[in-house]
């Protein structure tokens, strides 16, 4: 087994695990994070198929914009999962039937749909000034365009996504009574004399020892 086949199985296993966790995670935020992981593994599979443009678009558009937007919406809505799960077992047979049908269709396509077909050998080439074919890399060409001619739009999109992420976290941050958080502004304003105060107390005096008569009276009592 060569390295390409090993990476294919690795990306496939992680993709299947992430897709399974998307539909089984109890926390919707965890489900969205696993969906982002699934998209990243799918982008790796596109790279193995020499489709660098589709892989980059999948990462930039879905991971960088759509899924981050989904994560913001889930965090801001504060969904009551107890109410959502009330009708789960009621609709479980229908969902299981549809899922089984989709699995059978995918298995039928994968097992019988590609027999007798050769692996595509698409090699990108370019022509130099003399008309000779030279090796060409789609990823290198896209990188040169993104970080030279389209550098400003890429940076603006990154800043907008960063501002949206910070705003979503700030909007969803709630003050809980059981939290141990301390305001940083109060920590900065703390002075040494406010932390400890020296109090002068009277000297400790040892109690006098009881006399013999008092001890005898206590024994009789």
pLDDT in tens, 149-181: 989 988 998 888 788 778 777 776 666 566 677
Q: What is the 3-state secondary structure (H, E, C) of 102-141?
A: HHHHHHHHHHHCCCCCCCCCCCCEEECCCCCEEECCHHHH
State the Cα–Cα distance between residues 18 and 39, nearest whole angstrom.
9
Per-residue confidence at 141, pLDDT binned at 50, 70, 90?
Answer: confident
Class in CATH terms, 1-78: mainly alpha
pTM of the shown model = 0.53
CA 92 → CA 81, 85, 176, distances in Å? 17, 11, 36
pLDDT in tens, 41-54: 999 998 888 788 88
Domain extent listing, the chain: 1-78, 137-171
């Amino acid at each position: 087994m060569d390295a390409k086949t090993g990476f294919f199985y690795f990306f496939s296993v992680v993709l299947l695990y992430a897709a399974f966790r998307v539909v089984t995670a109890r926390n919707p935020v965890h489900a969205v994070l696993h969906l982002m992981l699934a998209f990243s593994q799918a982008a790796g599979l596109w790279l193995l198929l020499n489709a660098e443009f589709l892989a980059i678009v999948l990462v930039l558009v879905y991971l960088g914009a759509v899924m981050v937007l989904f994560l913001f919406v889930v965090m801001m809505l504060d969904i009551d999962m107890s109410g959502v799960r009330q009708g789960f077992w009621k609709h479980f047979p229908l969902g299981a039937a549809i899922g089984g049908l989709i699995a059978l269709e995918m298995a039928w396509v994968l097992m019988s749909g590609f027999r007798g077909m050769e692996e595509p050998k698409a090699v990108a080439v370019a022509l130099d000034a003399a008309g000779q074919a030279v090796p060409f890399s789609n990823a290198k060409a896209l990188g040169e365009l993104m970080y030279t001619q389209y550098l400003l739009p890429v940076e603006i999109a990154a800043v907008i996504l960063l501002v949206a992420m910070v705003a979503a976290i700030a909007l969803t941050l709630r003050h809980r009574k059981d939290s141990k958080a301390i305001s940083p502004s109060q920590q900065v304003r703390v002075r040494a004399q406010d932390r400890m105060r020296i109090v002068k107390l009277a000297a400790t005096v040892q109690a006098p020892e009881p006399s013999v008569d008092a001890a005898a009276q206590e024994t009789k009592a």
